A and B are shown apart, each in its own frame.
Chain A
Amino acid sequence: MTRASLPLKIAALGGLAFLHIPLLFILLYCFTTEERSYAFPPPGFTLKWFAVVWSRADIWAAIGLSLKVALVATLLALVFGTLAAGALARARFFGREPISLLFVLPIALPGIVTGIALRQAFGLMEIPFSFWTIVIGHATFCIVVVYNNAVARLRRLSPSLIEASMDLGADAFTTFRLVVLPNVGTALLAGGMLAFALSFDEVIVTTFTAGQQSTLPIWMLSELIRPRQRPVTNVVAVLVIIVTFLPILAAYYLTREGEAVAGSGK
């Protein structure tokens, strides 16, 4: 390893600063006394916005809906993503490539296309907007996150472990429970957490599948377009950062420790 030159260091650290400074400003503005503009520097500091958020029923309702949607969408994504990964990790068959493409498509295409397409389909089948229309939209693009995590881990899992288990008399179900599941468990957990964060944060598809319902990102979007008490949005934003950051951090450590899967050295 060589020492980096000074300009490189400055450019690299400057780039990282660029990535983080806007988030710090959001934190700063939680405490401002100015609620009508983004005046800098803030004219004064107060903690009252945290109390305001605490007493606002609309925010709590939005948080509740977002959490419920994220939970159900994650569970659906876990089931479908794991099944897909199990089928595609090792099997070789005609049409495998287009099918893997299909699983990636929901995040490869612009969210607005996915959103309008689903809205059109709901309209065509006369399905009214409900909790479940939001969940269907979210699960569709969460599947790929779980799929990616699970497929990577399944490919590292040595097939000889499964063969050994069967040679020793375990049937397919016991092998799945005692050999496959413990080895892919952390990858599924990590995928599930990323899916949860993705769903909790999603706004583009949700605008088209929510109707009159308000998830937390939808609430934030309306505040961004027509601001009322601006620091309240900041407090909620910081809350969102925390709620999405914790599962992501956990997912990072889960997949990192998972590098040492049994049989991966082969």
Chain B
Amino acid sequence: MSLATLDLPARPIGLRGRLSDLLVRRGGLLTLLLLLPPLLWLGLVYLGSLFVFLGQSIFSIDEFSGTIVREPTFATLIELFRPANYDIVLRTVAIATAVTVLCAIIAFPIAYYAARHAGPRAKAAFYLAVMMPLWSSYLVKVYGWKLLLAKEGAIGWFAGRLGLTGALEAWLALPVVGGPSLSVSYTGMVLTFTYLWLPFMILPVQAALERVPGSLIEAAGDLGASPAKVFRTVILPLALPGVVAGAIFTFSLTLGDYIVPQIIGTSALVLGQAVYTLQGTAGNIPLAAAFSLVPILVMAAFLAIARRTGAFDAM
């Protein structure tokens, strides 16, 4: 048998064949064709709307007529630094920080146990136990906390049964964190946020802890470090990128939320509520846009710092 008679598959012919040849030979064309529809959608519909909205932060509002003055000015952006507005920003950042710290404290033991002590079956169970609340309905979870925190609700009842009513009332009497009841206090708001975003902290911390080599921990122990010292000098620094990765989520999600403070919390506004009322009842789109820039800028700074700690590899 000579090579000439070897039965090669027939060359693809016709329009379909030529199109196929073109796509295979010109990979760039294929990439472009694939990319074009989603890029048009997100680039035009989404990014376009985003720029139109955020761009209005350089306009201002006419105080008498309430109409938008379409002349570039820094007045609206400077308005952010008025005490009343600046307070809103500081308050929101403080709440987000408290939520992030609480999430890290509660998440660490769960992540540590799942990463270093759980067998394969327990690990799958842990994973599902974390994923299930993560993906359950956001509103349902908020609602659950409204039930628990209400004055007549379960937390108050259990506190009474355990003889802790006095402690609960003493806590509510505290100046900043307290309030008439848990459901209208910062304590309630921070607890709800912590609950909502906790899974976002557990998963990256667990991923980071799983990458800590066991031999490193053994070596530290062999060299005479106490368990506490091993934890402080070996485990914690290596887990830190995971904590930072989790903090990206807990921090940014808290910064932008306006529904939880509306349902559970005090009458003092947070960022999301300020944006919501400004664009709605107040009709001050320029200031709403200026306020919206705050979480975006805070997160951009956060991400720039996070990149240095290697948090992106832990996600």
B-contacting residues of A (Cβ < 8 Å)? Answer: 1-4, 8-9, 11-12, 14-16, 18-20, 22-23, 25-26, 29, 37-41, 79-81, 83-84, 86-88, 91, 93, 99, 102-103, 105-106, 108-114, 116-121, 124, 136, 139-140, 143, 166, 168-169, 171-173, 194, 197, 201, 203-204, 217, 220-221, 224-225, 233-234, 237, 240-241, 244-245, 248-249, 252
Q: Are B292 and A113 neighbours in the complex by a CB distance under 8 Å?
A: yes
Residue of B nearest to A80 (CB): B38
**A110, B114: Cα distance in complex, Å:** 30
Picked from A22, A120, A224, the residue with its CB within 8 Å of the CB of B195 is A22
A-contacting residues of B (Cβ < 8 Å)? Answer: 9-10, 12, 16-17, 19-21, 23-24, 27-28, 30-32, 34-35, 37-39, 41-43, 45-50, 52-54, 56, 106-107, 109-110, 112-114, 116-117, 119, 126, 128-133, 135-148, 150, 152-154, 156-157, 195, 198-199, 202, 252-253, 255-259, 262-263, 272, 275-276, 279, 285, 288, 292, 295-296, 299
**A81, B145: Cα distance in complex, Å:** 35
Q: Are A12 and B109 neighbours in the complex by a CB distance under 8 Å?
A: yes
Q: Are B140 and A26 neighbours in the complex by a CB distance under 8 Å?
A: yes
17 other contacts beyond A3-B117, A83-B35, A171-B12, with CB at 8 A cut-off?
A1-B117, A4-B113, A19-B133, A22-B147, A23-B144, A25-B154, A38-B147, A110-B253, A112-B258, A113-B295, A114-B46, A116-B292, A143-B42, A172-B19, A173-B16, A220-B139, A248-B135
Between B141, B255, B259, the greatest number of chain A beta carbons within 10 A of the residue's beta carbon is seen for B259
**A3, B116: Cα distance in complex, Å:** 9
Residue of A nearest to B46 (CB): A140
Known: A12-B114, A22-B145, A203-B259. A84 touches B133 (CB 8 A): no
**A196, B21: Cα distance in complex, Å:** 36
Residue of B nearest to A118 (CB): B49
Q: Are A140 and B45 neighbours in the complex by a CB distance under 8 Å?
A: yes
Known: A84-B34, A172-B24. A102 touches B42 (CB 8 A): yes
Known: A19-B198, A112-B292. A121 touches B143 (CB 8 A): no
**A245, B141: Cα distance in complex, Å:** 13
**A243, B21: Cα distance in complex, Å:** 45
What chain B residues lie within 8 Å of A168 (beta carbons)?
9
Interchain nearest-CB distance for B284 vs A (Å): 12
Q: Are A116 and B37 neighbours in the complex by a CB distance under 8 Å?
A: no
**A4, B114: Cα distance in complex, Å:** 10
Interchain nearest-CB distance for B245 vs A (Å): 13
Q: Which 7 A-B pairs have the closest CB atoms?
A: A110-B256, A169-B9, A22-B144, A11-B109, A121-B49, A171-B20, A12-B113
Residue of A nearest to B262 (CB): A225
Q: Are B150 and A38 neighbours in the complex by a CB distance under 8 Å?
A: yes
**A81, B41: Cα distance in complex, Å:** 11
Q: Are B143 and A252 neighbours in the complex by a CB distance under 8 Å?
A: no
What chain A residues lie within 8 Å of B156 (beta carbons)?
40
Interchain nearest-CB distance for B136 vs A (Å): 5
How many residue pairs link A and B with beta carbons under 8 A? The number is 254
What chain A residues lie within 8 Å of B56 (beta carbons)?
120
Residue of A nearest to B107 (CB): A15
Picked from B132, B143, B263, the residue with its CB within 8 Å of the CB of A248 is B132
Known: A203-B138, A248-B132. A109 touches B145 (CB 8 A): no
Q: List 9 A-B contacts (CB under 8 A).
A: A1-B119, A4-B116, A15-B107, A19-B129, A103-B38, A112-B272, A118-B45, A171-B20, A203-B138
Q: Are A102 and B47 neighbours in the complex by a CB distance under 8 Å?
A: yes
Q: Are A110 and B12 neighbours in the complex by a CB distance under 8 Å?
A: no
What chain A residues lie within 8 Å of B113 (beta carbons)?
4, 8-9, 11-12
What chain A residues lie within 8 Å of B20 (beta carbons)?
171-173
Interchain nearest-CB distance for A116 vs B (Å): 5
Between A9, A11, A15, A111, the greatest number of chain B beta carbons within 10 A of the residue's beta carbon is seen for A15
Interchain nearest-CB distance for B228 vs A (Å): 12
**A88, B31: Cα distance in complex, Å:** 8
Q: Are B263 and A224 neighbours in the complex by a CB distance under 8 Å?
A: yes
Interchain nearest-CB distance for A30 vs B (Å): 11
Residue of A nearest to B292 (CB): A113
Between B32, B46, B49, B137, the greatest number of chain A beta carbons within 10 A of the residue's beta carbon is seen for B137
**A240, B131: Cα distance in complex, Å:** 16
Picked from A136, A233, A248, the residue with its CB within 8 Å of the CB of B45 is A136
Picked from A15, A22, A118, A252, the residue with its CB within 8 Å of the CB of B110 is A15
What chain A residues lie within 8 Å of B130 (beta carbons)?
16, 19
Known: A103-B38, A120-B52. A20 touches B133 (CB 8 A): yes
